[in-house]
Amino acid sequence: MDKLLFKRILVTALTILALIYVAYLLISANFDMYPTENAVQTTVTNKIFTNAFIIRDENVITNNTSGVLSYSCYEGEEVKAGGEIAKIYETEEDALAQTTAAALEKQKNSLETLQKNNSVNTVGIDTINNSIHNNLITYLDDINNGELYSALSDSYNLLSSINQRQLYTGKYTNFNSEISSLQSQIDSLRNSSGNSIGTIKTDKAGYFSEYCDGYENSIKYSDIDRIKLSDLENVKKSEISDSNAGKIISSLNWYVACKVSADEATELSLWDGNVTILFSDAATDSVPASIYRIHQETPDSDALVVLKCDYMDEGLIEARQEPVEIGLGTYTGLRISKRAIHDDYVTKTTYDDNDNKHTEKKKVQGVYVLYGSEVQFKQISILYADDDYVICDTSPEEDELFNGETVSLYDKVILKGDDLYDGKVIE
C-alpha cells in the first residue's frame, strides 16, 4: 500500500473517531441535564416514633411476715384467685433445698407419666420427632428473646419429648432407676431442711410478676378514660416497699400512653385500622394494638394517644417506659423521588357509538419518564408520602387514573430538567 494513501486513511479514521467522541460528549452533557432514577418496588411502614408509658390493672401483693420467699409461679404465669404465689421459709438454705426438691419432683412425675403412657403406645415416631423439633425451636426462641422463665418450662417439655423417644426406640425399657434416684434426692433434701412456715396467696386472678417498679399506682387503671397529657408528663415514681412480694395483673387488656405532635394526632385520628407497636427493649416482634383514645387540648397542641393491647408475654409484663415505633400500615409500590413530581396535562381518547374519536385533556400530578430520547408524562397514584419520596400504586383503581396510564417498574423517571413537557425529544 502506498504510504501516502495509508497516511490519508489513518488521518481520516482518527478524525472520524474524534468527531464521534465529541458527539458523545455533547449528547452525554445534554442527557446529564436530565438525570434519571429507575422506579423500583419498595415496601415501607408508616411509623410514628415516640415514648411510651404502659398502664396495667396492677395489684401489688404485700408480705408483712419475716422469712425467705420461694416463689411458686414463674414470671407471667396465669394464676387463679386464691392461688399460691410463694412459700415462706425461715432460712435461704431451707428455701433452696425445698425449691430444688420441688423441681426434682416435677422431673420424677414426668418420667412416671411417660412410663405409664408408653404401654398404650398410641404415638408414632414421626409425632415424637416433630415434638422434639418444635420444643427445641421454642426453647431457642425464648432464650434468644430473653424469656428465661418460659425457656425453663420449654426445657422440661424438650426433655420429656427426648425421654419419650428413648422409650419408643427401646433404648430404655423403663426409667425405674432414674425415678428411684430422683426420689432419694428429694427425700434427702426435704429431710435435711425445714418446711415452709407460711404461704402468700392472691385474692385476684391474673398474671403474676415478681417485679415492682414503683409506677403501679402512678396512673390508675380506672382513670384511663380521663387522663390527659399533663398526667402523663407529671407521672411520679413511688418508693418501693420492702414488703412488696410482687403483683398481679388482673385484666388482659393494657394500655400504652404516648405523647404525639398535632400532625401525628391528626394522622392517627384519620387512620381507620389497627396499629402495631414495636418496643425498643421489651419485645423483638411488633405487638398488635388499636387506637383507644386521642385527647388534645387545642387543634394545634401536642396530644395524648392511648393504644389498647391484649397481648402479653414475659418481656412486656415488666416494661414500663421506653421508646416505641407505632406502625400505621405497610405500603408496597414504586419509590419515586419528590423532586420528580410535576403537574401536567394528560390526554384521554374515547370513541362514541358512531366510532367518532373524542379527546379530552386534564391536568394531573405525575412524573416525566424518559423512553430513549423522548419524554413522556405519566400520572401517578400516591399510596404513601415521606419527606423525600412517595410510594406509588402500580395498579390503582380505574377511577384514580384519567387515561388509565401510570408509571411502571424500572421506568427512567426524570429527576430534574428545564422546559419538560410530554413528547419532548432530547437531542
CA nearest 384: which of 40, 43, 49, 48? 43
Distance CA 388, CA 316 (A): 35
On the CB side of 165, CA atoms within 13 Å amount to 14
CB distance 367 to 316 below 8 Å: no
pTM to 2 decimal places: 0.66
- Residue-level pLDDT at 25: 46
Q: What is the pLDDT of residue 230?
A: 94
Chain center to CA of 256? 15
Residue 328 contacts residue 271 (beta carbons within 8 Å): yes
88 closest CA partner among 173, 194, 167, 211: 194
pLDDT for residue 32: 55
Distance CA 304, CA 307 (A): 10
Cα(279)–Cα(409) distance, rounded to whole angstroms? 35
pLDDT of residue 152: 72
Cα–chain center distance at 12: 68
| Spatial CA neighbour of 316 closest among 277, 283, 286 | 283
Q: How many CB atoms lie within 10 A of CB 209?
A: 22
DSSP line for 237-304: PPPPPTTEEEEEE--S-EEEEEEE-HHHHHHHHH--S-EEEEESSS-SS-EEEEEEEEEESSTTS-EE
DSSP alpha helix (H) spans, 145-228: 148-169, 176-191
pLDDT tens over the chain, length 427 residues: 555 555 565 556 656 665 565 454 445 444 457 888 999 999 998 899 999 999 999 999 988 888 888 888 888 888 999 999 998 998 888 888 888 888 888 888 888 877 777 655 556 787 878 888 887 888 787 777 766 667 777 777 888 788 878 777 878 777 888 888 988 888 888 888 888 888 999 999 999 998 899 999 899 999 999 999 999 999 999 888 888 889 999 988 999 999 999 999 999 998 888 999 998 766 667 899 999 999 999 999 999 999 999 988 777 888 899 899 999 988 999 999 999 999 998 888 888 888 888 888 899 999 999 998 899 999 999 999 888 999 999 888 878 898 888 999 999 999 988 788 888 888 7
Phi, psi of 397 (to 5 degrees): -60, 155
Q: Return the pLDDT at 368.
A: 94
* pLDDT score recorded for residue 29: 46
pLDDT at 382: 93
Residue with cell 433434701: 189
